[in-house]
Every structure is written in C-alpha cells, then in structure tokens.
Amino acid sequence: MKRLIIAFAFVALASCETEDPTMAVVADAYPAVGDAGAAGEVSVYKAWWSTTLVADPVAPGGESPAQRAVPASDYAYALLAPGWDPSSGAPPSRLVAVRSTTKLSVGRGDTLRIAVSPESFDGDCAAGKPLAQDDADFITQRIFPGDFAGVTYDAKTCTTISADGGAPDAGGDGD
C-alpha cells in the first residue's frame, strides 16, 4: 500500500510540469510615428486571449505588463484605437475590432507574446483586411460589448453607427 501511495504522489508531481505561471503579453507592433504625433499611430486599446483580458492600453512599439493566463490555443482579439494617444486621459473616439489570423498557443509555465500588427491580425480596414461581419459581431457583442454599447459596428468600413441611426464615427473608410 505504501508503494502505491508513493507511486501516485510521484505521478501527481510529475504531471504538474512546472510551478511557473503561464503568462501573456500584448505587444503593439504598429510602428510609432514619432514627430507626426498620435494622429498617425495605432494604439491597442484592449486585448483578450482565452481567459485573459489586457485592459490597459499599449502604445505603438510598446508592451503590456505580463498577465496571468492558462495554457490554451485560441484566437486573440483586440480593439485598435487609431490616432489616439493613450496618455491623453480621454477615451478613444474610434475603435477597430480585430482578431488574430491564427490561433495562438502557450504551454504551461511559458509566456505568450501577442504581437498585434496588420500582418498578424485581421480586421484593420486601413490595412485592407476587414473582418467578416459575423466575426466583427462576435468581437463587438461577446468579447467587448461595453465598448460598443449603443452602436452598430460595420466590419466593411471599420466604423460605428449610433443605434438610434445617428451619424457614423469620425473614422470613415477605416483610416
């Protein structure tokens, strides 16, 4: 009986693989424009992967603090804020919903780096990669519903229209 308990304990310990936490980091791989100011930059306003929300904005060329995650394979979702300066204190006037082109994976104890860029994410109309409307609806209604309350998001133009039929946002054609 004692051998059985020791064998079970060994199997249980071996299955843990590591005591290090699994982490996720969001990197805004859009270029920083520099002297042109925020008008030409694209910040990552929020991001979501599997069970992890990165709620703090990430400026172009920057990275978020590491967030705890779980080992998984899933799509990453983000809200881009074109022309917005995260240090301004004001909310962005325009948000663009994007999804990673492929599922991203991380193992137990590793860190997933989610590089948000026009090459690795779909949905940025300015990059010529709009989402299908069903995918955009999933992001705006299920992943980030609070950010799109009272508006309808048009995936073809990356703009919003007020739910009461008012004017679209100031973004126009996914600039």
Does the residue 8 lie in any domain?
no
**Position 124: which residue type?**
D
Q: What range defines the domain where residue 156 resides? A: 18-162
Distance CA 31, CA 114 (A): 15
Does the residue 2 lie in any domain?
no
Q: Check whether 95 has a pLDDT greater than 70.
A: yes
Does the residue 12 lie in any domain?
no
Does the residue 81 lie in any domain?
yes
Does the residue 37 lie in any domain?
yes
Does the residue 167 lie in any domain?
no
Does the residue 152 lie in any domain?
yes
Number of domains in the chain: 1
Q: Check whether 13 has a pLDDT greater than 60.
A: no
Distance CA 59, CA 44 (A): 7
Q: Check whether 38 has a pLDDT greater than 80.
A: no
Q: How far is CA 73 from CA 69, 81, 118, 164, in A?
A: 11, 26, 21, 38
Q: What percent of the chain has pLDDT over 70?
A: 80
Average pLDDT score over residue span 70-84: 97
Does the residue 90 lie in any domain?
yes
Say if pTM beats, i.e. exceeds, 0.75. yes
Q: Check whether 129 has a pLDDT greater than 50.
A: yes
Which DSSP string corresponds to the chain? -HHHHHHHHHHHHHHT--SSPPEEEEEE-SPP-GGG-GGG-EEEEEEEETTEEE-S-B-TT-BPPPEE--SEEE-EEEEEEET--GGGSSPPS--EEEEESS-EEE-TT-EEEEEESTTTEE--GGGT-PPPHHHHHHIIIIISGGGGTTEEEETTTTEEEETTS-PBPTTTTT-
The pLDDT value recorded for residue 7 is 47
The pLDDT value recorded for residue 144 is 98
Q: Check whether 172 has a pLDDT greater than 60.
A: no
Average pLDDT score over residue span 33-53: 85
Q: Are 86 and 95 in contact (CB under 8 A)?
A: no
